Amino acid sequence: MGELSGKVAVITGGSSGIGLATAKKFVDAGAHVFISGRRGDELDAAVAAIGRNVTAVRGDVAEPADLDRLYARVAADKGVVHVVVANAGFVERRTLADATPEHFDRTFAINARGTFFTVQKALPLMTQGGSIVLVSSAAHLMGLPEYGTYAASKAAMRSFARTWAAELKDRKIRVNNLSPGPVDTPIIDGQFSSKEQADAARAAMRAAAPLGRFARPEELAAAVLFLASDDSSFSTGIDLVVDGGLSQV
């Protein structure tokens, strides 16, 4: 029997990176997963890679109507949600001097507002004893130049975990935050204008982390599975930092 045998899970941003690795891990643990993402071709590839017990629903967490469609599909197919992983995220490097209102609004729309309503709209389908995992970032623990808006939006997620853990305790729904460090996923390339810049940033991150490397998406997926399953049954409201020591040492 797997850790999530018979469970139904929703994973936003489930078509690549940590989200895709988590979806694979959950299916191997016995769950049926619903994954969402903005790009249809990536979702199709993810479904093929996962192979079984997966349903893809295209949508943007910044759009409430898309979240409504996601949960309408879950309700129609399964009628219940046991685990929610709010993983969809957006990062765009900007200094305080260079940031625009559009940059700020887009970052918070996906990372903070998107997470908020991903969870809120799941509640009518959640059973007693469910688990919610918010995928934040170790950036919220640090003062990284050019990541001020991103880090603040991820700090909001950490705050949500505390508040929701208290609000949902009577329903025995646990809420925990995961703060990953550097993970070698396509999101890194999207932050830079050239491969050379991205590679230089990767080298700097490796040098800064005490473990001297990037995490594999599968390592973060293992942490999400821990928080989602009964293996963490006495944990709620926590921030689990999985960053190779980057923010801790």
Q: How many residues does the chain have?
A: 249
Look-up of token digits 């942490």: 223
Which residues pair with residue 36 across a beta bridge? Answer: 12, 57
Q: Which member of 90, 108, 117, 150 is catalytic?
A: 150
Q: What are phi and psi of 157, to 5 degrees?
A: -65, -40
The Cα 160–Cα 154 span in angstroms is 10
Q: Are 150 and 137 in contact (CB under 8 A)?
A: yes
* Nearest C-alpha neighbor of 91 from the set 167, 50, 144, 39: 144
Specify the DSSP element, H or E, that contains 55.
strand 54-58
For residue 241, what are the CA distances in angstroms to 24, 69, 144, 159, 202? 21, 32, 17, 15, 19
**Is 71 tagged catalytic?**
no
What SS3 state is found at 166? helix
- Catalytic residues, by residue number, are 150
